[in-house]
């Protein structure tokens, strides 16, 4: 059972009210453009886009302590699994919505925070319900339940008509699936008793399809689903399965490639069948693999190890300022810990994705 803090009311101060009125004016102007800017960004997924929701639940999958956040505003560890900004922050900034996407479970959300979007993501979650259960984090269905609660709060702030506009026109970003393969299927026996790898991937893709349809029926229309990275090239997977030389493990990468291929086809199918939808699969695998295999082309010096500790296995609690060495300049590293990228690597990756897909402006 996940222990989530009880009811959190939005802080509706005079300042947030003024900002709120300003945002309405900006959105009204945007509505007259050919491709209006989304009024909000709403995020679901795992640790790649969790800005601190796991801080508020009983789980070991947390990072609200140094050195996490060492290059964030105020050098503060917020619960983001990186040294600084994460992809949801960067996307919100690219869209001109705001600089940071807050965690929905954060206790100090303002009215402005709510109407411009939040993240429901929970580190170590996945399309497979078992993935979140193993790590005692918020499942994707649990994140949807929070979204239903969120919709009521937005309606209370701006009224039914405006709330419907925000929900229908917001940018929805979904980033998950990696943990299903890396933390559930390969290292534990539970799913391998039931499925061979192709069958398990089919199961997770169908789970993803069902999830997208649930989100659609709750009002989402602009939905971007990010595929799995080259899992076999993550420092932790190099350590676990890459042998003495810590090469990229081909089995993990092949699994990610198969998952991405099926996920892409299913998103295309949904986009063609759900009326007035804009559902797009985003390939993270290939651009990130290029960064990992050719780090010097992007100004990096290290792509096989993370900045934290030895960089080969440290993540979450094992990556801490008390027992591990921290590299001096994280911008020289592709990876922050053994699983997540540095802010600079995320910025380069998200810029490449925005150039290729246009992200949400369509």
C-alpha–C-alpha distance, residues 187 and 178, integer Å: 13
Asked whether 256 and 286 are in contact (CB, 8 A), the reply is no
201-243 pLDDT, tens digit per residue, is 999 999 999 999 999 999 999 999 999 999 999 999 999 999 9
C-alpha–C-alpha distance, residues 235 and 239, integer Å: 6
* Closest residue by Cα to residue 165 from 279, 25, 274, 38: 38
Give the length of the chain. 362
Asked if residue 206 belongs to a domain, the reply is: yes
For 66, half-sphere exposure in the C-beta direction (CA atoms, 13 angstrom radius) is 12
Evaluate if residue 117 carries a pLDDT over 50: yes
Asked if residue 133 belongs to a domain, the reply is: yes
337 is catalytic: yes
Question: How many Cβ atoms from other residues are within 10 Å of residue 281's Cβ?
Answer: 20
Query: Where residue 292 sits, what CATH number does that domain have?
Result: 3.40.50.1110
261 is catalytic: no
Q: Quick one: tokens of 294?
A: 């050719």
Asked if residue 121 belongs to a domain, the reply is: yes
Evaluate if residue 34 carries a pLDDT over 80: no
Return the SS3 of 81.
coil
Number of domains in the chain: 1
Kindly give the pairing relationship between strand 302-306 and strand 333-335.
parallel
What was the pLDDT predicted at 35?
Answer: 57
What was the pLDDT predicted at 27?
Answer: 42
* Mean pLDDT of all residues in 267-291: 97
Which segments of 132-181 are extended strands (E)?
171-175
The parent domain of residue 340 ranges over 14-357
Asked whether 136 and 2 are in contact (CB, 8 A), the reply is yes
What angle (nearest 5°) sits at the alpha carbon of residue 42, between those of residues 14 and 125? 125
CA distances from 198 to 163, 181, 191 (A): 41, 11, 12
Which helix (H) or strand (E) segment holds residue 223: the answer is strand 222-226
Asked if residue 33 belongs to a domain, the reply is: yes
Catalytic residue of the set 16, 47, 139, 209? 47
47 is catalytic: yes
Q: Quick one: tokens of 219?
A: 């009002």
* Mean pLDDT of all residues in 31-36: 48
> Of all residues in the chain, what percent carry a pLDDT higher than 70?
89
Catalytic residue of the set 89, 128, 180, 337? 337
Asked if residue 91 belongs to a domain, the reply is: yes
* Mean pLDDT of all residues in 180-195: 96
| pTM of the entire predicted model | 0.90
Asked if residue 8 belongs to a domain, the reply is: no
Asked if residue 1 belongs to a domain, the reply is: no
124-172 pLDDT, tens digit per residue, is 999 999 999 999 999 999 999 999 999 999 999 999 999 999 999 999 9
For residue 322, report the phi and psi dihedrals to the nearest 5 degrees: -90, -35
């Amino acid at each position: 059972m996940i222990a989530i803090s009880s009811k959190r009311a939005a802080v509706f101060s005079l300042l947030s009210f003024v900002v709120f009125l300003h945002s309405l004016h900006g959105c009204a102007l945007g509505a007259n453009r050919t491709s209006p800017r989304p009024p909000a960004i709403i995020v679901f997924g795992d640790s790649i886009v969790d800005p601190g929701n796991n801080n508020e639940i009983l789980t070991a999958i947390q990072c609200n302590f140094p050195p996490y956040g060492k290059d964030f505003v105020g050098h503060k560890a917020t619960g983001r699994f990186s040294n600084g900004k994460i992809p949801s922050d960067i996307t919100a900034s690219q869209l001109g919505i705001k600089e940071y996407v807050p965690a929905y479970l954060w206790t100090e959300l303002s009215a402005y925070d709510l109407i411009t979007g939040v993240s429901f993501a929970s580190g170590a979650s996945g399309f497979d319900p078992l993935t979140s259960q193993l790590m005692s984090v918020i499942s994707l269905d649990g994140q949807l339940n929070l979204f239903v609660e969120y919709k009521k709060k937005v309606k209370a702030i701006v009224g039914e008509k405006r709330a419907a506009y925000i929900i229908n026109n917001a940018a929805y970003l979904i980033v998950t699936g990696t943990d299903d393969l890396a933390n559930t299927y390969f290292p534990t026996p539970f799913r391998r008793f039931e499925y061979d790898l192709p069958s398990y991937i089919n199961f997770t893709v169908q789970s993803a399809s069902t999830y997208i349809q649930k989100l659609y029926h709750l009002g989402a229309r602009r939905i971007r689903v990010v595929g799995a990275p080259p899992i076999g090239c993550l420092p932790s997977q190099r350590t676990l399965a890459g042998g003495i030389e810590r090469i990229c493990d081909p089995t993990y990468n092949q699994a990610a490639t198969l998952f991405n291929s099926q996920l892409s086809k299913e998103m295309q199918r949904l986009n063609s069948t759900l009326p007035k939808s804009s559902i797009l699969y985003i390939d993270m695998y290939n651009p990130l693999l290029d960064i990992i295999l050719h780090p010097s082309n992007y100004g990096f010096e290290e792509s096989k190890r993370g900045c934290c500790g030895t960089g080969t296995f440290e993540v979450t609690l094992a990556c801490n300022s008390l027992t591990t060495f921290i590299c001096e300049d994280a911008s020289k590293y592709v990876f922050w810990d053994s699983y997540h990228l540095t802010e600079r690597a995320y910025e380069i990756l998200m810029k490449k994705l925005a150039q290729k897909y246009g992200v949400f402006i369509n």
